[in-house]
């Protein structure tokens, strides 16, 4: 057993962890229908944004969230996607 710390997760690994965490979170929220998903995901984004601001400062956190919003506007479809069950 080595005392060396593990290296930080690569971006692709972190993205997979994030997807798994979101799926677990939505399952834990016990949605009764898909129309509730936006509200639960907004709560998750809100909490993550506050945590980011605490970790890096409010200006950096706001810039990151604004860049994410701009990406969503440019790259994501205008209408909701047909989503498969999360479980």
pLDDT of residue 85: 60
pLDDT of residue 86: 53
Tokens of 65: 């969230």
Within-domain flag for 66: yes
pLDDT of residue 1: 53
Give CA–CA dist 10/69, Å, rounded: 23
pLDDT of residue 31: 92
Within-domain flag for 12: no
Within-domain flag for 17: no
pLDDT of residue 38: 94
Which one, of 37, 7, 14, lies nearest residue 25 by Cα? 37
pLDDT of residue 2: 57
> How many separate domains does the chain show?
1
pLDDT along the chain (87 residues), means of 10: 79 96 96 92 98 98 98 93 65
pLDDT of residue 81: 82
Within-domain flag for 21: no
* Segments forming the whole domain that contains residue 72: 38-77
Within-domain flag for 45: yes
């Amino acid at each position: 057993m080595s005392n060396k710390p593990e290296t930080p997760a690569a971006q692709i690994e972190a993205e997979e962890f994030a997807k798994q965490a979101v799926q677990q979170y939505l399952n834990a929220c016990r949605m009764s229908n898909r129309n509730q998903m936006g509200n639960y995901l907004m709560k998750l984004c809100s909490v993550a944004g506050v945590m980011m601001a605490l970790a890096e400062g409010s200006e950096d956190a706001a810039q990151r969230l604004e860049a994410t919003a701009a990406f969503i506007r440019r790259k994501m479809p205008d209408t909701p996607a047909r989503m498969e069950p999360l479980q």
